[in-house]
Amino acid sequence: MFRYLFYTFIFLAGFNQLFAQPRILDLHEAAERVEMSSFVDILEDPQATLEIENVISSEYAATVVPEPGQKSIDVMRKLKSQNKRAFVENNMRRPNFGFSNSAYWLRIKMRNSKVQSPTERQWLIEAGYPSLDFIYVYVPDEQGGYTKFEGGDKYPFNLRQFNFRNPVFRVPHFTGEKVIYIRIQTSGTADLPLTLYSYSGFTSRAVNEQYGYGLYFGIMIAMVLYNLFIFVSTRDTGYIHYVGFIFCNTLFQMNLRGYAFQYLWPDNIWWAHQSAGFFLGMFAAFGTQFTRHFLNTREIAPILDKILLGLLVLEVAIAGASLLGFSHEFMSRAMVIGGGSFAILAAITGYRCFFKGYRPARYFNIAFTIYFAAGVLQVLVRSSVVPFTFFTEQAEQMGFAIQVILLSLGLADRINIMKREKEIAQAEMLESRRVMVQSFSRFVPRQFLTLLGRESIVDVGLGDSVEKDFTVLFTDIRSFTSLSEKMTAEENFRFLNSFLKRMGPVIHKNNGFIDKFMGDAIMALFPESPQQALEAAIDMRRELDGYNRHRLNEGREEINIGIGLHTGHLMLGTVGSEARLDTTVIGDTVNLASRLESLTKTFRIPILVSQAVYGRLPQGHVFKLREIDTVRVKGRSEPVIIYEAYDGDPLSLQNQKDDALHDYTHALQLYKEGHFQEAMAIFERLAAQFPDDAAHGMYVRRCQKLLAEPPGTGWRGVSRMVMK
């Protein structure tokens, strides 16, 4: 009797193991964030042939439950060895099957026990590993079928439901019980972390995560720029190796975390896959070369130096293999071998050099020990040996950040040791030269020297010149003469310096440089593009608004400026004698820019630009421009079309000009064609509607004059300016 009861118990236990019902995730009781691993059943499909119709059939309805102490992955391996397929109840905190060509089906049973509005609470499923090739989510629909949502890094980024680095899928609202299926297949690591979030919980976590990763990547980019700047200063090639080391690892981490696919190449699927191997290979290659240079292995450890050189070739080959299109699976394994070999060999070399008395190796050893330990911890986490926590998941990033800082200190220490005597010997000479160059740079702009191809002012000779296209900016203060009459000479100097020191940085910020100060006037040159010159002019107007507020607070009157811009060919160089040199620019471009600045007084417009500037602005620019007139300035036979840039005007005036632009343009065309009566009618209406816009009233007066004194048959709409 007892034997019968015993066997009955064993049979029922086994029956329960083989045909256990899926665990149910109750959305009504769920927290803002739920790790879904404890609610997941997993089916491995080694041939990747199963479709949704297969997995929802009765053949796979049962769930195999691991025995106590047995891991889900062991049960799945056993089923695979027996050529069987079945859903297995997952008991791993984060399912991870390493490199696998299998497809994996995940089954999650959900219940929503409360009828509620779809807007009351929304749920999202996040696959927390961005490097999954394909991830399909099947959600039951109202017709008894399944709606399929596709994702993964084999799809362009813009096809995702959510603009987020990890695949995220919305769970449609339902009441009752639903079974959701997820199919995952990838050529890399089959890491299957799934998390259920409420919409608010997801957005809160995503924002905090963006801040954290933004800080990390920001530090890395800052370190790249910092060390690149030091390289420019010292010409020590170790800094170039180090910059490549940091830069490539940063891009690799961005790739690994999904940010590179999201922000850098969202439509390039091939590169999104291959770039990880390339950047890891180049990271290790730069790191190997940096190790050789930093530790001076050629002299201190020649045998290890040769091994490192061989490793360097291997790492470059791994990067090259990625560019040649080797499979992601092959590249993933090569990355593990290459990256691991580099970390181990760098650590061995560092300690070897330290024990041979090479002092800079101390920073190197501490840095690589920390990074190596972080890397080992990351491997243990991915292997499910160490549990996932915020610290363990971010260990590699934190380790690398500490390593970068320590190696920067080590580089500085190494350079100090190697160059201290040389620097002491040259200190006075270099300081004297620095002070001299810095002093002269106040009188001769650095850009001027660069354009002449000279390192410093002492290299400039009489007659040095260069011919080039420039955009010339002229500006001066309106009514400066009457303004200066109210001030003493000392007050005049203080006023001019106060004004000019505000305008100078605006010009420099937009890649221009000041060629001359002429009393209250500035002539600036922009060698790169007219767009930068126009941006500088607009910024100067905005800076003037702040300056005028400052003057009003001090009880002083406001000032106004006029700015003229023209682009063309110039000769830039030096004139004078051997005893006295001066820098200058020569060309008609300078004269026309000066004339345009003078015309700002005539038209009562702050910024005027020539047709040459207007025509060279990039397509799709957002500057607010309108044609003002076609003029023949004094000293030029050819007329030039001039435009107003009104971005710097007060917002209300900008809006008026925007609103009137269509009618204004039409009236101006009528004016050019000689239809003065029709043009005047439009201009009068605009002048009444927009009284702050001086251009309308000006054209009303012109039309009245031309109607009284018709210009004749030769009229082309050209105004002749007799004043300079």
DSSP-assigned letters across all residues of 625-693: EEEEEEEE-TT-SS-EEEEEE-TTS-HHHHHHHHHHHHHHHHHHHHHHTT-HHHHHHHHHHHHHH-TT-
Q: How far is Cα 183 from Cα 150, in angstroms, rounded to an integer?
A: 10
Q: Give the pLDDT band of residue 441 (cuts 50, 70, 90).
A: low
**Do the beta carbons of residue 462 and residue 574 sit within 8 Å?**
yes
| pLDDT tens digits along 601-616 | 888 899 999 999 999 9
Q: What is the mean pLDDT of the chain?
A: 81
Strand partners, 25: 110
State yes or no: pLDDT of 5 exceeds 50.
no
Give the pair of three-digit tokens for residue 477.
């203060």
Give the pair of three-digit tokens for residue 161.
């439901």
Q: Give the pLDDT band of residue 320 (cuts 50, 70, 90).
A: confident
Range list for CATH 3.30.70.1230 in the chain: 447-649
**Do the beta carbons of residue 618 and residue 605 sit within 8 Å?**
no
Mean pLDDT (whole number) for 197-212: 84
Strand partners, 171: 123
Q: Check residue 17 and give its pLDDT.
A: 42
| pLDDT tens digits along 513-545 | 888 777 778 888 898 889 999 999 999 999 998
Percent of the chain with pLDDT over 70: 83
What 8-state DSSP symbol labels residue 70?
-
Q: Check residue 490 and give its pLDDT.
A: 83
Mean pLDDT (whole number) for 24-28: 81
Strands (E), 113-263: 123-127, 134-140, 146-151, 168-171, 176-185, 189-191, 194-198
What 8-state DSSP symbol labels residue 145?
S
Could you tell me the fold of the domain covering 19-203? Immunoglobulin-like (2.60.40)
Range list for CATH 2.60.40.2380 in the chain: 19-203
Q: Check residue 510 and give its pLDDT.
A: 92
Instruction: Say which range, 25-29, 205-209, 463-467, 536-540, has the weakest mean pLDDT.
Output: 463-467
Mean pLDDT (whole number) for 345-350: 86
Q: Give the pLDDT band of residue 576 (cuts 50, 70, 90).
A: low
Mean pLDDT (whole number) for 29-47: 87
| pLDDT tens digits along 405-426 | 777 777 777 677 666 656 666 6
| pLDDT tens digits along 290-316 | 888 888 888 888 898 898 899 888 888
Neighbours of 326 (CB within 10 A): 15
Report the sign of the C-alpha dihedral through residues 291, 293, 295, 297, in that order. positive
| pLDDT tens digits along 650-696 | 999 999 999 999 999 999 999 988 898 999 999 999 999 998 888 99
pTM of the model: 0.51
What 8-state DSSP symbol labels residue 721?
P
Mean pLDDT (whole number) for 256-260: 85
Percent of the chain with pLDDT over 90: 16
Mean pLDDT (whole number) for 111-131: 75
- Cα→Cα distances 523→476, 533, 672, Å: 9, 12, 33
Q: Check residue 344 and give its pLDDT.
A: 83
Q: How far is Cα 356 from Cα 366, in angstroms, rounded to an integer?
A: 16
Neighbours of 579 (CB within 10 A): 6
Instruction: Say which range, 184-193, 573-582, 617-626, 653-662, has the weakest mean pLDDT.
Output: 573-582
- Return the SS3 of 147: strand
Q: Check residue 181 and give its pLDDT.
A: 93
Q: Check residue 366 and give its pLDDT.
A: 82
Strands 24-26 and 123-127: unpaired
User: At the top level of CATH, which class does the domain 447-649 belong to?
Assistant: alpha beta
What 8-state DSSP symbol labels residue 85?
-
State yes or no: pLDDT of 198 exceeds 60.
yes
Report the sign of the C-alpha dihedral through residues 652, 655, 660, 661, in that order. positive
Residues near 251 by beta carbon (within 8 Å), at least 6 away in sequence: 260, 275, 279
